[in-house]
Amino acid sequence: MQKSRFIAEVAERASVSKKDARHIIETMLDVIRERLQQGDKVVLTGFGTFEVRSRQERQGVNPKTGEHMRIPATKTPGFSASNSLKTKVRGQQGERG
């Protein structure tokens, strides 16, 4: 599902305009981004947790040259689904096959 369809569905279910739904969703995403930039965790109970994960420095290989190279440590956003979300998704998979 693309963002525009997601916004339309939220607007319909919440009985608000698409403009209002877009504003709310964009604001929510901004809050998550800002909190992650500050190093905070964002826990949405029943959905999951957004957090910053650290990757250690490691060795890699340049695919073009085959030369070994050092890949520096970095931070990356991560998401862990809650148990209730996992259960719901697994339940749907069971019904399909």
* Secondary structure class of 74 (helix, strand, coil): strand
Tell me what pLDDT residue 97 has.
Answer: 44
Task: Please check the confidence at residue 42 and state whether its pLDDT lies above 80.
Answer: yes
16 vs 2: CA distance, rounded Å: 19
Tell me the pLDDT band of 24, cut-offs 50, 70 and 90.
very high
Q: Show the tokens assigned to 82.
A: 């809650």
Q: What is the pTM of this model?
A: 0.76
Among 3.90.800.10, 4.10.520.10, 3.40.605.10, 3.40.50.620, what is the CATH number of 43-97? 4.10.520.10
- In the predicted model, what is the mean pLDDT of residues 17-36? 97
Residue 21's CB: how many other CB atoms inside 10 A?
Answer: 20
Where do the domains of the chain lie? 1-40, 43-97
Which tens digit of pLDDT belongs to each residue from 46-83?
999 999 999 999 999 999 999 999 999 999 999 999 99
